Structure formats: C-alpha cells, structure tokens
Amino acid sequence: MDTLTKQQRSERMSRIRGKNTRPELAVRQALYALGYRYQLHRKDLPGKPDIVFPSRKKALFIHGCFWHAHQGCKVANMPKSRTEYWQAKFQRNVERDKLNKRALRRMGWSTLTVWECEIKHTDRLLRRVTGYLGTAGTKVKKERSS
Ligand SMILES: [Zn+2]
C-alpha cells in the first residue's frame, strides 16, 4: 500500500523540484478562477514567495513537505540512510523559511504556508487560503439604496 510505483515516485520527485510544479499550478488556477490576481516568485522579496498578492501585502509559500520538513507529515519521512546529513539539511531549510518570513513581516507583509500534502484536499485548502486572503477582486463599492 505505501510503496510507490516508479511513475508515482518520479512524479513526486518532479514535484519537489523547481518552480511551476503541479501542486503550485493547481492552487494558482483555483485562485485565479475565484477572481484573485497575483504575481509569481517575486525575486525582490525574501524567500521568493510562490504567489504574491501585492495590494494585500500577502504572500503564499507552497512548501514541499519533504524539503521543508513538514512536522508530523507522512510525506516528510526522514530518510533511513545518512540521517544526520538530511537532518542538518532540513534544519537549514526550516531555519531559512523562518528567517524569510520574519524579514517579510518586518517589511509589512504577512505570509501563509501551504503544504504540498494539503493540496489534494482542495476544498479545505481553498477555504483556508481564501479565508486568509479575504474577498477576491477589487474592493466592493458601497452602494446606497435610494
Ligand atoms: Zn505535509
């Protein structure tokens, strides 16, 4: 049950690598469909947040559970060999994430972390993200009746 087929494993590895990975695309498309507009991978911001909402000063990080050592997560299993090497590596990633978020906060930004393993529960995830972002689109004009 818990062993991956070759294809699943290569899918997972390709997801871990680099930008525009599939889970990130899924989140982006869903948010776009809901009317949110955003920028991607802003290099001028600490940690290059994956999805940025400039007018709200809010940034989303989409983290792979493995590389960012998602606590208590099944996907984030510690490798059985070279444990110390991996532990140090994960520790550095987690530390860097923390520093980036702190730097963003100091610049007046808030951040939300989305974990790779959350993305398959799309509805729940979108509720969380839209709850964080607030209503989509431009500010609703107050209309006066009469
Ligand atoms: Zn996870």
Domains identified in the chain and CATH numbers: 6-133 (3.40.960.10)
In angstroms, the CA 107 to CA 121 distance is: 32
Q: What's the gap in Å between 65 CA and the centre of ligand 1?
A: 4
pLDDT by residue, tens only, the chain of 146 residues: 456 677 676 666 555 555 566 778 888 999 999 999 999 989 999 999 999 999 999 999 999 898 899 988 987 888 888 989 998 999 999 999 999 999 999 999 999 999 989 988 888 999 999 999 998 865 444 555 55
- What is the rounded CA–CA span in Å between residue 49 and residue 112? 10
State in Å: Cα 72 to ligand 1 middle.
8
- Dihedral angle over CA of 8, 11, 16, 22, nearest 10: -120
Tokens of 59: 């940034």
Residues 6+ apart with CB under 8 A from 32: 38
Distance CA 50, CA 103 (A): 16
Strands 110-115 and 58-63, sheet pairing: parallel
* Per-residue model confidence as pLDDT tens digits over 56-96: 999 999 998 988 999 889 878 888 889 899 989 999 999 99
Residue appearing with tokens 């969380």: 128
Cα 22 to Cα 35: distance, rounded to the nearest angstrom: 20
* Structure token digits, residue 93: 């990633």
- Ligand 1 centroid–CA 137 distance in Å is 30
CA of 34 to the centre of ligand 1 (A): 25
CA distance 105 to 7: 40
Cα 70 to ligand 1 centroid, rounded to whole Å? 5
